[in-house]
Structures are given as structure tokens and as C-alpha cells.
Amino acid sequence: MPPDEVTGVATTGSPDHGLRHGDPSLVSARVRQIDTAVAYVVTGHLEQLLKRRVAQAGEVNPTFGADIAERVRRFTLGGGRRARPQFLWWALRACGMPDDQQMEAALQLGAALELLQTCALVHDDVMDQAQSRRGRPSVHVDCAAQYARPLPSDGRRFGESSAILVGDLALAWADDEAACLDLPTWHAGRIRDIWSRMRLEMVAGQYLDIQGEATQSRSLSQAVSAACLKSALYTVERPLQLGATLGGADEATLRALCSAGRDAGLAFQLRDDLDDAFGDPSRRRDKPAGGDLRAGKPTYLVALAHAQATVDGDHHALKVLGHALGRSDATDEDLDEVRDVLERTGARRDVEDKICRLIAQSKRNLDAAPLDPVARARLHALVHHVAASPAAAGEPAGGLSAGAAQGAAC
């Protein structure tokens, strides 16, 4: 889709489109246009929304507008696959052809999801002390560098404080978008309930993540709970639920989509854990590989390796994990030893197998629901894409190791 078409499609919410209570054929044409490039359309919608928001912030105070609001705009538009808005859109489309009101609400919620993601990533980088994101300095690093010379020695604290405000502002704007949907009261209320639940789950997942780091947890059940809360629900299940609710899905369809989303979302997080540990350069665009290992994050992958080493009485493996994990100064050689343990205990293989089973189960749930066939096919492709598993379309051979058998399911 050419840039001028993207811009034209994305400037939603205006009577100038001629769609409000307009000709159904025009609505259908625009839906088909969005179908061809959902991510581009949502990005165009974000561009228009953030242009207005940054201007408003500048009117409050020019420095605040330039330093904080403009960073929300740059970060939100500066990367990301727009996966959450795509899940939302195709769940809506799976329920049939949306009318203009549903279509506008979907784009508005898609933009809100991207702003919520901005909040999550900016705050996550502060908590993780990550130095880069999307190939550029993290927001807290960028903020600290802006006033490096005039500031006293504690410029790092200024950068982190500023980044927290960037995330806060993104969250406020996301909530504003979710709160002002032009929908019937009962419909808007259901959407807001899902939105509220999703925010709570996201924060809970982030807390379990840092609490697991602090306590050096190697609990399989806690690892799965954190992955479900911080990724599976927020990345796939809730966006699907938002779209399906917007489309008026019945309870059976909602249950099928939510189950499909939870499986796919957990597969997404497990794949991300593997990518961090083993550094697949084709996928690891956001942050350098090995960051989660150095931070000592309580991932399912590490919990599996620890459980299997314990069952096997592999004291060397346990010593390696205890020595290298959670050490910011761990060397590349230390991390190579950890990777060897992840391979030798079978943890890497077991996680790959679990991803394949989750993807297959997610697709079965999609097939079991009465969905529009075109939308179902797009959802199949999205599910495969977020986990990027070459074997995702089929069942893996073999079972789990003794350690994997102890894992909890979402």
C-alpha cells in the first residue's frame, strides 16, 4: 500500500471519511483496504493521534512536549511489528464484516495497544538496565545523554526518572483511547473491563519477573505463570478477546479464541526466551542476546534445565547455572557454559517441543470455532509468525524430559 493511501486510510474518527452511517459498500471497501495492510493502517492512525497529543503536550509546556511527549511519539512509531493490533483486527474480522463504528473502534484500540506496549517496553528497559532497544539507545539512556553536561554526576537517575514519565504518559494516552470509544454503553463497558484486566495482568507479570530475579526462583510453575501474565495474555489472548468482543462473538467463539491466544502467547514468550539464550540474529532485533541470562530472569527454559539437572544429580550443571545466571558481569565464556547446560539437560529441545505443541493446539482451537475462513487463515499465519517455529504446523515427536513433566500449563 503506497504511503499516501496509508495516510488516507489511517486518519480515522473523522466525519470527512463519509463512513459514519454511510454507504455499506464504502465500509466494505475500506475494510478490504485495511485487510491488505493492517500494520500500516494502525501506524498511520498512530501518526495522526500522536501528532495531536504531542501538540497538546507542547501547549502545556514546550520543554515537556519536546523531552517527554516527543519521545513517546518517536518510540511508538520507531519500531514494532504491530502484532497486537493485527490479532485484534483479525478477531473482529473473524466474526464477520464490521460496520464503520466497529472499524473505527478497532483502529482506536489498536493504537491504544501500541501505546500500552510503549509503556511496558520503556519501563522494562529501566528495570532491566537495558542499554539498547530496537537498535537504538534505550529511552532512559537517551534521556540521560540529552543533559549529560549540565547535570551533576547522577545523570543516570535523571534518565531513569524521565523514562518512567515517558512510559506513564504513553499509558495515560493508551487509557484515554480505550476510554472514549464511540460504542453503545454496554459494548464499551465490556471492552473497558477486558482492557482493565489486561493492564492488571501485565503489571502482575512484570512483578513476577523481577521478583523471580530477586529470589533467584527456579520454579517451573512460577516461570509459566509469569510468562502467561506478562506475554501470553497481553500479547495475544486479550487482543483477540477485544476484537471478538467488538465483533459480537458468542461465548463459544470467545472461549475458542481465548484458548488459541493463550497457547500462542505462551509459545511467543518461550520462543523469545530461546532467542535471548541462543541469540538468533534474524529475530533478536530489540535487545542484545544473553540479557535475560545475565539478569537471571526466571524463564521456563532455565527452570527446566535446573529441574533436569537436579533430577539427574548433575552437580556441574547446577554449579554453572548458579555461577553465571544473574551476573551482569558474566563473560561470553560463562554464557557459553550456560548454553551448553541448556543443551545437555535437554531444556532447549523440550522448550522447542513445547512451542510446537502450543502452536498446534492454538491452531486446533482456531479451527474448532465458526470463524470467517479468510480471517481464520490470517490468524493461523499470525500465530505461526509470533512464535517463528519452523515445526509449528505439526506435532513434534517424542515426549518431555523428567524436568519438563513437572511444568505447569497455562
Q: What residue spans define the domains of the chain?
A: 1-182, 188-410
Question: Phi and psi dihedrals of 307, rounded to 5?
Answer: -65, -45
Dump pLDDT digits (tens) for 279-333. 755 554 556 678 889 888 889 999 999 999 999 999 999 999 999 998 888 898 9
Q: What does the pLDDT look like over 122-148, one tens digit per residue?
A: 999 999 888 888 889 999 999 999 887
Quickly state the pLDDT bin for 172 (edges 50, 70, 90): very high
Q: Which amino acid, 247?
A: G
Distance CA 231, CA 262 (A): 9
What's residue 230's pLDDT? 83
pLDDT of residue 279: 77
- Rounded Cα–Cα distance for residues 85 and 368 (Å): 23
- Rounded CA-CA distance 268/84 in Å is 12
On the question of pLDDT at 7 being above 70, the answer is no
pLDDT > 70? residue 408: no
240: how many CB neighbours lie within 10 A of its CB? 31
Residues 6+ apart with CB under 8 A from 373: none
Q: Give pLDDT, residue 409.
A: 32
Alpha helices in 95-154 (DSSP H): 100-128, 139-146
pLDDT tens digits, 15-54 = 333 333 445 666 688 888 899 999 999 999 999 999 999 9
Q: Is the pLDDT of residue 350 over 60?
A: yes
Residue 153 confidence class, pLDDT cut points 50, 70, 90: low
Question: d(Cα 362, Cα 337) in Å, to the nearest integer?
Answer: 34
pLDDT in tens, 27-36: 688 888 899 9
- Give the up-direction half-sphere exposure of residue 247: CA atoms within 13 A in the CB hemisphere: 27
Read off the pLDDT band of 152 (50, 70, 90): low
Confidence (pLDDT) at 24? 61
- What CATH architecture applies to the domain 188-410? Orthogonal Bundle (1.10)
pTM metric for this prediction: 0.85
- Could you tell me where the beta strands, DSSP code E, fall in 82-165? 132-133, 136-137
Angle, helix 38-60 to helix 155-179, in steps of 10 degrees: 110
| Nearest-angstrom CA–CA distance, 56 and 60 | 7
